[in-house]
Amino acid sequence: MAISLSLSELASRIDGKIICGKAGSLFYGMASLDTAGPSDISFLGNEKYLPQFHATRAGSVIVPEGFEFKTDGPALIAVSNPSLGFAEVVRHFAVEPKPFTPGIHPGAHVAPTAKADPGKVCIHAGAVIMDDASIGEGTEISPNAVIQTGASIGKNCQIGANVTIREGCIIGDRVLIQPGAVIGSDGYGYEFSEGRHIKIDQVGIVEIGNDVEIGANTTIDRARFGKTIIGEGTKIDNLVQIAHNVVLGKHCLIVSQSGLAGSCRIEDHVIVAAQSGIAGHVVIGEKAILSARSGATTSLPGGITYSGKPALPMKEEVKLQAHVRRLPKMLARIKALEAALLKSSSTDL
């Protein structure tokens, strides 16, 4: 991690022009306009953050070219794209990713029948790799993660601490699983008989494609039979529930605390915003967007943005909600009509 950056080094690194401030001033970190202090670099990426800019305590701010100069504010550097410039600052201060160091910690528990080449994988203390599981080269298993019997992890994956991957599940390459996630828990299926719920065996697996990311404490159930499928490149946030036999397409985003019920099918490039729910057995078409807290109770065609529960095309739902807010006025108009009619009929008499 770099320790500091002078204003002139900053200007040269991001190909910007100092429009205010001393070339030798030193900065030690980076932060948003809201939270930056005098030793931090920040940026103004969008005019809507001007109030935050005027209130910022940042030592230096990256601003767009043509930005109006102010005498007593922070040091300013103008660039064509402040957001990209700031990304460069982030890289400067970022902890360099630790190089991958293969090895199996003596405190890890790797079953004799597991396939894990100590020269090519990294398995930390307390991790448990059970019988017949296999770990691909370049993959890191964090402390206390559990890879159960026969599970297969691809190459260059990062499996977080305290993650559980249950029996037989298949994980692709370059998959990133945040701590505490559970892959392959039993699907939730029972038959009701004589007043009791009898468990239906859940004998399938979960199969996760390449380049998938799975959030902290998210749960993905194994299929009743066959596979629960997470398509290549899909990114799942924290605390998401994915039930048995869901087929989730490629390059989808499933945002935090959403739930996908059993056997629903989500096509490619779908976005499900936070705290949404999708009913069992429905199909959500390609490139559909469900806004936050939507509840999809039926299949929905792709390419459209939905909201509400039941989820409707967003335009309709926004209009309905506007009508609801207008209800007190509607009631007043009905009363006025009633009064007018009463009056006109009395007049008639």
Whole-angstrom Cα distance, residue 110 to residue 108?
6
Kindly identify the residues of this chain, within the stretch 277-296, that bind its own copies according to CB under 8 A. Answer: 277, 279, 292-293, 295
Q: Contact at 8 Å (CB) between 113 and 131?
A: yes
User: Taking the complex as a whole, how short is the minimal distance between the CB of residue 69 and its own copies, in angstroms?
Assistant: 26
Sheet containing 295-296: give its strands across: 109-110, 128-129, 146-147, 164-165, 182-185, 219-221, 241-242, 259-260, 277-278, 295-296
54 binds its own copies (CB under 8 A): no
Q: Residues 193 to 212: which contact its own copies by CB under 8 A?
A: 195-197, 199, 201, 203, 211
Residue showing tokens 């828990």: 185
Q: Report the residue number, 21 or 215, with the smaller CB distance to its own copies.
A: 215
Which residue, 64 or 280, has its beta carbon nearer to its own copies? 280
Marked catalytic residue, from 92, 124, 244, 269: 244
Binding mask 13-52 for its own copies (x = CB under 8 A): ----------------xxxx-xxx---x------------
- Figure out which of the listed residues 185, 286, 304, 313 binds its own copies, where binding follows CB under 8 A: 185
Q: How far is the CB of 118 from its own copies (least distance, A)?
A: 17
> Which residues, numbered 121-140, are part of the site for its own copies (CB under 8 A)?
124-126, 128, 130
- Closest approach of its own copies to the CB of residue 303, in Å: 15
Report whether 155 contacts 138 (CB < 8 A). Answer: yes
Nearest to 154 by CA among 143, 169, 132: 169
My answer on whether omega of the bond before 310 falls inside 30° of 0, hence cis, is: yes
Residues 81-120 that bind its own copies (CB under 8 A): 90-91, 93-95, 98, 105, 107, 109
When asked if residue 78 is in the footprint of its own copies (CB under 8 A), the reply is no
Within 145-164, which residues bind its own copies (CB under 8 A)? Answer: 146, 148-149, 160-164
The 10 Å Cβ neighbour count of residue 47 is: 9
Which x/- pattern, by CB under 8 A, does the window 211-250 give for its own copies? x-x-xxx-x-x--xxxx-x---x-x-xxx-x-x-x-x---
Binders of its own copies among residues 306 to 325 (CB under 8 A) are 309, 319-320, 323-325
Tell me if residue 244 is catalytic: yes
Is the Cβ–Cβ distance between 158 and 196 less than 8 Å?
no
- Residue closer to its own copies by CB (options 7, 145) is 145
What gap in Å lies between CA 88 and CA 10, rounded to an integer? Answer: 9
Backbone angles phi and psi of 71, in degrees to 5: -70, -45
Nearest alpha carbon to residue 61 among 69, 49, 53: 53
CA–CA distance from 78 to each of 14, 17, 28, 35 (Å)?
9, 5, 20, 21
Residue 65 is a binding residue for its own copies (CB under 8 A): no
Closer residue to its own copies in complex, CB, 79/271 = 271
**CB-based contact 167:149 (threshold 8 Å):** yes
Catalytic positions are 244
